[in-house]
């Protein structure tokens, strides 16, 4: 989530509403002015709350920079502290504007509760947001275009991911489906959650439809999901080809799969990463983790392919990673 961009967008739109119709050029000028000094344009509790969130996220992210140097205990302490600070700031933001869904979502995520408990909080939050109303503005094909609606989409995508984490695959699929139905461009990547859920449910037809809907643009999630799906369906030679595709097309995919690393909780959504990058591969493996664990010999089987192990090793050498 880029909170500053959304803050600028919202302040500019609010100002335009006040001063009346503007030409495109004039609106672009206005936007530049807001970008220059957003705080000067914050004049509504909703944006005031978002400003607190934006600052809290900056502070949180800045604090993660020295993590590599810490041992496990020190890391855990530092992590708990920065999550605590983030949660506190988000509570403040929610006091300024109770309807600030991003603050509420972040507070729930930063509590670092068990996924099952988190899901309960997120569902309660969705109900509350539903009562407050607010459908996406008409006239946009993609609800993402409505900057005020984005928090709802983020919350829904978080619900889908949390469902996946708590082994609720039909719910994960239906939450993800509703995100991509309202936001077909899917900048939040709910389709990734969807693909993994369909793989776990061994729903080949559903998986294929989803793949076609996104023009079969592969990514680490879809390649990994396809491999899992075919393995679960006991179509071993097809599964082997899918594994090969995952290895070839996802940077560091083999390494991410065979040496899974810790991935920090998404706050509030999946961090942006270059398409096909190693980072994406680590995200995909992390999100697929409950499904991989439910398929006990999947990793053994993958490891049985020499080319996969060699590829992982090569990647580790190139990047100076542990092997």
Partner 1 sequence: MAHDPRREDYQRLALRFACSLDGADPAAAARAFAGFGRRFQQDRDALPQSDADRAFHLVAMAAEVVDYRLPFAVGAQADRLIARGKALLDEALSLDPLCWDALRMRSSSEAPSIEERYRLLADRAEEVRASCEAARDEALRALDGERAALGGELALRPWWRWLATLAEEALICGHNHAAARAAERLLACDPSDSCDVRFTLAYALAKLEDERGLEELAARYATLSPTRAGDAWLALARMALAHRRCDYAKASEQVGWLIDSYPGAAGVLLRQTELPDGEFSRLRVAPFSEDELVIAVSEGIVLLQEGTDRRGAGVLGEWLIRETARRDPAAWRTLRREAPDGRGRGDEAS
Binding residues (CB under 8 A) for partner 1: these are 114-116, 119, 123, 165-171, 201-202, 232-234, 289-290, 293-298, 300-301
Distance CA 121, CA 158 (A): 11
Is the separation of the CB atoms in 90 and 110 below 8 Å?
yes
Q: Which two tokens stand for residue 269?
A: 């959504």
**CA dihedral sign, ordered 219, 221, 222, 223:** positive
User: Judged by CB, which is closer to partner 1: 89, or 229?
Assistant: 229
User: Judged by CB, which is closer to partner 1: 133, or 296?
Assistant: 296
Is the separation of the CB atoms in 245 and 311 below 8 Å?
no
Distance CA 57, CA 51 (A): 10
**DSSP per position, 122-147:** HHHHHHHHHHH--PPPTT-SSGGGST
Q: Which two tokens stand for residue 297?
A: 């010999």
Closest distance between partner 1 and the C-beta of residue 192, in Å?
17
User: Judged by CB, which is closer to partner 1: 139, or 296?
Assistant: 296
Is the separation of the CB atoms in 47 and 70 below 8 Å?
no
User: Judged by CB, which is closer to partner 1: 51, or 198?
Assistant: 198
Closest distance between partner 1 and the C-beta of residue 174, in Å?
10
Closest distance between partner 1 and the C-beta of residue 37, in Å?
43
User: Judged by CB, which is closer to partner 1: 150, or 286?
Assistant: 286
Q: How far is CA 97 from CA 39, 109, 143, 255, in A?
A: 16, 18, 22, 44
Closest distance between partner 1 and the C-beta of residue 116, in Å?
5
User: Judged by CB, which is closer to partner 1: 22, or 123?
Assistant: 123
Closest distance between partner 1 and the C-beta of residue 241, in Å?
18
- Nearest Cα residue to 210 out of 184, 238, 182, 240: 184
Closest distance between partner 1 and the C-beta of residue 179, in Å?
18
């Amino acid at each position: 989530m880029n909170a500053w961009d959304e803050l600028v967008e919202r302040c500019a739109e609010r100002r335009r509403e006040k001063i009346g119709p503007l030409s495109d050029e004039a609106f672009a000028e206005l936007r530049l002015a807001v970008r220059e000094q957003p705080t000067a344009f914050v004049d509504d509790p909703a944006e005031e709350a978002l400003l607190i969130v934006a600052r809290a996220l900056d502070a949180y992210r800045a604090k993660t920079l020295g993590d590599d140097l810490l041992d496990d205990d020190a890391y855990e302490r530092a992590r708990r502290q920065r999550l605590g600070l983030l949660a506190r700031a988000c509570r403040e933001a929610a006091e300024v504007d109770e309807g600030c869904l991003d603050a509420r979502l972040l507070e729930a995520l930063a509590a670092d509760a068990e996924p099952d408990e988190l899901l309960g909080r997120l569902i309660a939050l969705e109900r509350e947001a539903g009562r407050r109303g607010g459908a996406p503005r008409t006239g946009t094909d993609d609800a993402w275009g409505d900057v005020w609606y984005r928090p709802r989409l983020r919350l829904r995508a978080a619900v889908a991911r949390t469902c996946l984490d708590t082994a609720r695959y039909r719910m994960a699929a239906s939450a993800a489906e509703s995100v991509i139905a309202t936001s077909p461009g899917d900048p939040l990547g709910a389709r990734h959650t969807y693909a993994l859920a369909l793989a776990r449910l061994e729903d080949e037809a559903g998986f294929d439809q989803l793949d076609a809907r996104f023009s079969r643009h592969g990514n680490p999630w879809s390649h990994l999901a396809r491999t899992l799906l075919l393995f679960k369906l006991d179509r071993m030679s097809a599964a082997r080809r899918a594994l090969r595709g995952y290895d070839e097309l996802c940077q560091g995919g083999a390494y991410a799969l065979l040496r899974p690393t810790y991935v920090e909780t998404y706050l509030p959504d999946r961090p942006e990463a270059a398409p096909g990058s190693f980072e994406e591969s680590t995200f995909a493996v992390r999100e697929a983790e409950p499904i991989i664990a439910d398929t006990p010999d999947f990793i053994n089987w993958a490891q049985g392919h020499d080319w996969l192990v060699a590829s992982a090793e090569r990647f580790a050498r190139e990047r100076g990673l542990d092997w």
